[in-house]
């Protein structure tokens, strides 16, 4: 089922299936097996309906009172952080105030109907997600006729905003995605991903960048970073002032970083094992060879952390002790609670992916990007729809959103295997359930010191799921840290800005809430805390290398290299 904005089939199917499930839950109509647990409407539903009508009555009484010159308190208000109705007209104009509050009451009723549905929790989670997508899409702010700011812009511009909005829509339909930033304002290697370094190794799957030292002496053991393969690496090197790469280099670390290739048809055969053997494990091997060190310190972020952990488990099972410590940033190893991403995963959907691309093919990065946008639709979809298509506006230049829009494809065999064995069957955390690179994998073999970072508001890797990593790796030598904010902002939190906070030093055990209740809150960035933790594992200091690479691995080209410049549309 095609969509002009690369909407995945799983999303479309899930949307309609959830509507059917909701109807079945309250009418008793027969349906598919997933709704077999549906029960008749409950007392909770009757109470929700009664409360709804009470609030509707209060709303209309308030509107009537306003006609006499009184200013009634709103019956219902947007949740904190909801910016859709910030304009004064939504509050001061009786018609728009009524429209806003009616919408919010209807949204609340739908939410309460979902909670009252007599269905199993997994299906209810899906229902919550898709009902919320429907609620968000139906906001009066999303339609020209019911958005006062849109109407005002049209009148003041004599219709020019409407013409510009239609032109913007046509442009975005051609590119297959909603423009969320001014992409012409940035260029990889010019004003993002500008840290100095060289590509010192490449194969069909990745380039390895070695960054130039920024101190006269460096730690003996280098830092090897494995970023996610579902996005470009330069989130770790956006601008000098918020570059994790630069920070590590300034702290006397020799930094090697994996730049995954954005796969096209030439990599349609690549498997999960390839990402381990030809990717993370090869990066560790080259980092060791160039640095001459006995061990490396390894860092993985998100799925990069899952790849790194799998690779290190394979190495340790083989008797390889080349990794001194492992740092996992917002990484999931136990997928029993995958959050909202889990709503897209079921046997039917995974089987379809296995049949279509599991033996060869490409999963488009544009589809993957849309999935992540739906997790925060009121931040990453609807504001841009309103601004671009209804108001005819141009997106602002923002480096983080430029990176967010610079998606990557995934090889079909790797992606289908990852869906089944991680999200669907949760096999990675089960000792010896999976064989990778010919080796039975047990995460318990990852017995070196580990630093596990989760973030409190992460919508991709829920922090309690990331916490379970502490029960799987580290051999009792695990440091768990919980950062404020979300999946990206919680990680990219520069030490120099001293913003946000983090929790640490809680008592590790089975329950994440128990850890949090015993943890200490600290102001500022977790970066400095991590560096203090890392330094004892970094080895002695020595003179910084005067040249990058070595006799075997000579510099190929300056950082950031060619691979990162390839877009999902195939441009370089």
Instruction: Give the 3-state DSSP-derived string for 67-107, with helices as H, strands as E and coil as C.
Output: CCCCCCCCCCCCCCCCCCCCCCHHHHCHHHHHHHHHHHHHH
Neighbouring-strand partners of residue 501 = 523
Q: Are 347 and 420 in contact (CB under 8 A)?
A: no
Residue 1, pLDDT > 50, answer no
Of 105, 128, 157, the position where a domain reaches its end is 157
Q: Would residue 446 count as lying in a domain?
A: yes
Q: Would residue 192 count as lying in a domain?
A: no
Q: What is the mean pLDDT of residues 352-361?
A: 95
**Same domain as 204, residue 94:** no
The residue whose two tokens read 């001014």 is 182
**Same domain as 201, residue 71:** no
First-residue to last-residue Cα distance in the chain: 29
Looking at residue 407, which CATH number applies to its domain?
3.40.50.1820
Q: Would residue 2 count as lying in a domain?
A: no
**Same domain as 209, residue 126:** no
C-alpha span between 357 and 367 (Å, rounded):
14
- Note the pTM of the prediction, 2 decimals: 0.91
Q: Would residue 381 count as lying in a domain?
A: no
Q: Would residue 414 count as lying in a domain?
A: yes
**Same domain as 23, residue 73:** yes
Task: Give the CA angle between residues 404, 360, 564 to the nearest 5°.
Answer: 30
The residue whose two tokens read 């920024």 is 214
Q: Would residue 278 count as lying in a domain?
A: yes
Of the residues 302, 429, 437, 445, only one is catalytic, namely 302
**Same domain as 474, residue 426:** yes
**Same domain as 244, residue 146:** no
Q: Would residue 221 count as lying in a domain?
A: yes
Helix axes 9-27, 347-357, angle to 10 degrees: 160
170-184, 192-206, 446-460, 539-553, range with the lowest pLDDT: 170-184
Q: In the annotation, is 302 catalytic?
A: yes
Q: Which two tokens stand for residue 83?
A: 């910016």
**Same domain as 146, residue 283:** no
Side-chain-side CA neighbours of 370 within 13 Å: the count stands at 19
C-alpha span between 550 and 254 (Å, rounded):
14
Residue 25 binned pLDDT confidence (cut-offs 50, 70, 90):
low
Q: Which of 50, 146, 52, 137 is nearest to 93 (CA)?
A: 146
Q: Would residue 170 count as lying in a domain?
A: no
For residue 72, give the DSSP letter.
P
pLDDT tens track for 206-232: 999 999 999 999 999 999 999 999 999
38, burial (CB in 10 Å: exposed 0-12, middle 13-18, buried 19+): buried
**Same domain as 560, residue 411:** yes
Count of structural domains within the chain: 2
Domain that holds residue 545: 197-360+401-565
Other beta carbons within 10 angstroms of residue 64's beta carbon come to: 11
C-alpha span between 478 and 475 (Å, rounded):
7
pLDDT tens track for 541-570: 999 999 999 999 999 999 999 999 998 754
Q: Which of 316, 336, 403 is nearest to 121 (CA)?
A: 336
Of 109, 125, 157, the position where a domain reaches its end is 157
């Amino acid at each position: 089922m095609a969509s002009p904005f690369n909407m995945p089939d799983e999303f479309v199917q899930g949307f309609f299936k959830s509507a059917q499930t909701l109807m079945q839950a309250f009418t008793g109509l027969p349906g598919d097996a997933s709704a077999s647990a549906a029960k008749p409407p409950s007392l909770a539903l009757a109470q929700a309906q009664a409360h709804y009508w009470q609030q509707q009555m209060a709303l209309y009484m308030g509107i009537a009172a306003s006609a006499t010159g009184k200013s009634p308190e709103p019956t219902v208000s947007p949740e904190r952080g909801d910016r859709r109705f910030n304009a004064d007209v939504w509050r001061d104009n009786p018609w728009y105030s009524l429209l806003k509050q009616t919408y919010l009451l209807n949204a609340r009723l739908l939410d309460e109907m979902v909670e009252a549905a007599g269905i199993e929790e997994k299906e209810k989670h899906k229902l919550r997600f898709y009902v919320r997508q429907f609620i968000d899409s139906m906001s009066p702010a999303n339609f020209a006729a019911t958005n006062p700011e849109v109407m005002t812009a049209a009148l003041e511009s004599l219709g020019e905003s409407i013409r510009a909005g239609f032109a913007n829509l046509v442009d975005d339909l051609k590119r297959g995605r909603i423009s969320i930033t001014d992409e012409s304002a940035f260029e990889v290697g010019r004003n993002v991903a500008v840290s100095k370094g060289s590509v010192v190794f490449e194969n069909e799957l990745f380039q390895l960048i070695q960054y130039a030292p920024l101190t006269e002496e460096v730690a003996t053991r280098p830092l090897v970073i494995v970023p996610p393969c579902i996005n470009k690496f330069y989130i770790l090197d956006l601008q000098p002032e918020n570059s994790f790469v630069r920070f590590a280099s300034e702290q006397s670390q020799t930094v090697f970083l994996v730049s995954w290739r954005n796969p096209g048809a030439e990599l349609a055969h690549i498997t999960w094992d390839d990402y381990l053997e030809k990717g993370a494990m090869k990066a560790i091997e080259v980092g060791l060879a160039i640095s001459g060190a006995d061990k490396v310190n390894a860092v993985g972020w998100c799925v990069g952390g899952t790849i790194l952990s799998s690779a290190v488990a394979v190495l340790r099972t083989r008797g390889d002790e080349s990794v001194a410590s492992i740092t996992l940033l917002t990484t999931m190893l136990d997928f029993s609670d995958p959050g909202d991403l889990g709503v897209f995963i079921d046997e039917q959907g995974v089987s379809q992916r296995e049949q279509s691309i599991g033996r060869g093919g490409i999963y488009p990065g544009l589809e993957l990007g849309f999935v992540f946008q739906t997790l925060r639709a009121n931040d990453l979809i609807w504001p841009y729809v309103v601004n671009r298509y209804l108001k005819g506006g141009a997106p602002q230049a923002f480096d983080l959103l430029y990176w967010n829009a610079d998606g990557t494809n995934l090889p079909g065999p790797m992606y289908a295997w990852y869906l089944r064995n991680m999200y669907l069957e949760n096999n990675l955390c089960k000792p010896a359930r999976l064989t990778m690179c010919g080796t039975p994998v047990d995460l318990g073999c990852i017995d070196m010191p580990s630093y596990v970072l989760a973030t409190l508001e992460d919508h991709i890797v829920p922090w309690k799921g990331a916490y379970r990593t502490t029960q799987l790796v580290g051999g009792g030598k695990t440091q768990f840290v919980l950062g404020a904010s979300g999946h990206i902002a919680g990680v990219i939190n520069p030490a120099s800005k001293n913003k946000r906070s983090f929790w640490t030093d809680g008592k590790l055990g089975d329950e994440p809430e128990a850890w949090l209740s015993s943890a200490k809150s600290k102001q500022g960035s977790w970066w400095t805390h991590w560096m203090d933790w890392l330094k004892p594992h970094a080895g002695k200091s020595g003179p910084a290398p005067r040249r990058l690479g070595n006799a075997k691995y000579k510099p190929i080209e300056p950082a950031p290299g060619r691979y990162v410049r390839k877009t999902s549309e195939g441009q370089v």
